[in-house]
Amino acid sequence: MTAVAPKCGSDRVNASVSPATVEARTTVPTPSILLTAHLWITWLRVAIERAQQARRFREEMVRRRDQGANAADLLNDEFEASIVAVAASAHALDALYGSTVIPQSVRAQWRRSSSSREGHIREALKGVFDTGRVNTPWVTEFGWLFDLRDSAAHAREEAKSPQPHPIVGNTSQEYVIYSAESAERAVEFALSVFRWCVDHPRPALSVATQWATAMRPVIEELEAQRLGRTS
């Protein structure tokens, strides 16, 4: 583009002006979707299935014993199903502690404490759910369950005196500790914790009430599975 300057006397001044180029750029964020998986559901389902399996093995052991057959052949099957049921029950509660219903600030508070892992979980649940009536029995049951879980996960092999199994008589202590009775106790307790939580969210915490509403049908389904009312 050429511009002609105003005439000054007898002189004419020509000036060339190059137009400026303005380039505007904008960055549009790439769309993303955030997902999470509720691992406690998986662990509870595994625990229920293995406890039921342990019970079926126990019933078959009783049948064989009553018929004079060798019931000890199924001892290892009962043990394997039971130890998984116990561990999975504890894992489910551990996964609840790590779920979105427990605020990061609450988890951080108890990670700094010197209490046990099950202590962290119990104290965190107190902050989100109304646990007043169950605090005392939970101390005993959480301690029992996590002792068994930790003993299985961090096993130390050592010779111990035999203990009597309800069906086969004296055997290794592990086969008595991780039995159908322990599997059922572990599952019943883990499910009872989840049931209490969906029934007793702290009303002032929207995250707790929303979680309880959303998860109630899941707990009902798992309870039905434990009772054998689902396929």
Greatest Cα pair distance in the chain: 133
> Residue 140 in 3-state DSSP?
helix
> Residue 8 in 3-state DSSP?
strand
Q: Among positive and negative, which fits the CA dihedral 90, 229, 101, 208? A: negative
pLDDT at 4: 46
pLDDT lower than 70: segments of the chain? 1-28, 109-114, 230-231
> 220 and 87 in contact (C-beta within 8 Å)?
no
C-alpha dihedral (76, 81, 83, 89), degrees to nearest 10: -170
User: Token pair of 185, please?
Assistant: 């106790």
pLDDT at 8: 47
Distances, alpha carbon 27 to alpha carbons 24, 30, 33, 158, in Å: 10, 9, 19, 64
Distances, alpha carbon 33 to alpha carbons 30, 36, in Å: 10, 10
> Residue 98 in 3-state DSSP?
coil
Q: How many CB atoms lie within 10 A of CB 50?
A: 23
pLDDT at 14: 52
> 177 and 185 in contact (C-beta within 8 Å)?
no
User: What predicted TM-score, i.e. pTM, was given to this entire model?
Assistant: 0.83
Residues contacting residue 101 through CB under 8 Å, at least 6 positions apart: 128, 207, 208, 211
What is the spatial distance between Cα 201 and Cα 49, in angstroms, rounded to a whole number?
Answer: 28
